[in-house]
């Protein structure tokens, strides 16, 4: 079923069902789904798919708490499997990270980047999990982990400009969310605790979560799960400039705890997921959310594998 779905003209959406934990493939045209992999433990959150290597990467926040949304233990992991759900591996774990959230893939350099929320940090590793590197630290675990203003969540890579963007969401519905950026390479003398090139780009956002970039048009997109009265539970966009972010627009509203985000650049639409279990489609220039699929459990991360990527892979294998 999964192999058949990969031949659809619109590509495939891969999303994470947080509970019961699984990776699911979704045809964006028909709404047909197929479970790819049942995550054996923990709570998956961020996902990336590499068509060239036929690999799915995801973050796992660790054991789901009995109540609340805090994941304070050092039981987070970075994991992967093949597109057919085989060859499951834990790449980073064993107490190295706390609560990994959104993840991004740099396929050219073979690198993974992710935010660690309760760990209050940004990390990078190779795609095999080696060379784990702390790029930024916003607080000391566990002493400061309750300070939600330090929590890093969403992440995006602007490789052409050697920059990294991330969100610090702040308290739920608090209106204290922020978007930052810094260089992918640390300045001379910088440490994770003191990076001189960190820029605060936007402040007092409802509660920004995941990020994605339209590199051609220099647009940064993000989901927000904050108070809808002040523009939260929405999809947002801003222009990326040398000076910062400009022309912030709320493109669509009506999500129910918006989280995951992926861009379909060919069809000029965004795919968004929320904790109600819904996966939505909306034009990249704004409009109304259209429901593609309603899941029985909460949905967190979303990734999109274009049909062109699959066709290119097929040609290489012929």
216-270 pLDDT, tens digit per residue, is 999 999 999 999 999 999 999 999 999 999 999 999 999 999 999 999 999 999 9
Per-residue pLDDT for 207 more than 50?
yes
30-78: pLDDT as tens digits: 999 999 999 999 999 999 999 999 999 999 999 988 888 999 999 999 9
Q: What would the 3-class secondary structure string for the chain be?
A: CHHHHCCCCCCEEEEEECCCCEEEEECCCCCCEEEEEECCCCCEEEEEEECCCCEEEEEECCCCCCCCCCCCCCCCEEEEEECCCCCCEEEECCCCCCCEEEEEEECCCCEEEEEECCCCEEEEEECCCCCCEEEEECCCCCCCCCCHHHCEEEEEEEHHHCEEEEEECCCCCCCCEEEEEEECCCCCCCECCECCCCEEEEEEECCEEEEEEECCCCEEEEEECCCHHHCCCEEEEEEEECCEEEEEEEEEECCCCEEEEEEECCCCEEEEEECCCEEEEEECCCCCCEEEEECCCCEEEEEEECHHHHHHHHHHHC
Give residue 309's pLDDT band: very low, low, confident or very high (50, 70, 90).
low
State the CATH number of the domain containing residue 210.
2.120.10.30
pLDDT above 70 covers what percent of the chain?
94
Specify the number of domains making up the chain: 1
The more confidently predicted of residues 2 and 214 is 214
Predicted pLDDT at 312: 42
Rounded to an integer, the average pLDDT of 152-168 is: 98
- Mean pLDDT across the stretch 6-24? 87
pLDDT value at 181 more than 80:
yes
pLDDT of residue 189: 85
* pLDDT for res 10: 81
Higher pLDDT, 65 or 166: 166
Q: Which domain holds residue 192?
A: 2-317
- Asked whether residue 277 carries a pLDDT value surpassing 80, the answer given is yes
Whether 317 has a pLDDT exceeding 60, the answer reads: no
| pLDDT value at residue 195 | 87
Query: Does residue 276 register a pLDDT over 80?
Result: yes
Arithmetic mean of pLDDT, 128-149: 97
What is the pLDDT at residue 310?
56
Whether pLDDT at 311 is above 60: no
pLDDT reported for residue 288: 97
Mean pLDDT of the region 136-162: 97
The tens digit of pLDDT for each residue in 81-137 reads: 999 999 999 999 999 999 999 999 999 999 999 999 999 999 999 999 999 999 999
pLDDT of residue 315: 36
């Amino acid at each position: 079923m999964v192999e058949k779905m990969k031949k659809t003209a619109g590509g495939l959406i891969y999303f994470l069902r947080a509970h019961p934990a699984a990776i699911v493939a979704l045809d964006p045209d028909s709404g047909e789904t197929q479970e790819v992999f049942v995550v054996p433990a923990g709570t998956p959150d961020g996902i990336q798919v590499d068509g060239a290597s036929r690999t799915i990467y995801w973050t796992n926040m660790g054991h789901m708490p009995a109540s609340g949304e805090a994941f304070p233990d050092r039981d987070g992991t970075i994991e992967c499997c093949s597109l057919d759900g085989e060859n499951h591996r834990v790449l980073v774990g064993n107490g190295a990270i706390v609560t990994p959230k959104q993840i991004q893939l740099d396929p050219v350099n073979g690198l993974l980047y992710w935010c660690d929320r309760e760990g209050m940090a940004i990390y990078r590793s190779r795609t095999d999990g080696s060379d784990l590197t702390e790029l930024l630290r916003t607080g000391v675990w566990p002493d400061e982990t309750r300070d939600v203003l330090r929590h890093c969540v969403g992440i995006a890579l602007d490789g052409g400009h050697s920059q990294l963007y991330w969100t610090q969401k702040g308290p739920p519905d608090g209106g204290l969310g922020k978007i930052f950026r810094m260089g992918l390479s640390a300045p001379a003398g910088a440490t994770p605790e003191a990076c001189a090139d960190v820029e605060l780009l936007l402040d007092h956002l409802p509660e920004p979560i995941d990020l994605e970039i339209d590199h051609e048009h220099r647009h940064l997109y993000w989901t927000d799960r904050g108070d809808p009265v002040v523009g939260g539970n929405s999809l947002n966009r801003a222009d990326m400039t040398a000076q910062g972010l400009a022309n912030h627009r709320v493109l669509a509203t009506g999500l129910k705890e918006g989280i995951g985000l992926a861009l379909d650049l060919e069809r000029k639409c965004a795919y968004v997921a929320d904790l109600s279990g819904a996966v939505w489609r909306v034009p990249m220039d704004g409009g109304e959310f259209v429901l593609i699929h309603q899941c029985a459990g909460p949905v967190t991360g979303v990734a999109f594998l274009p049909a062109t990527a699959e066709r290119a892979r097929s040609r290489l294998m012929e």
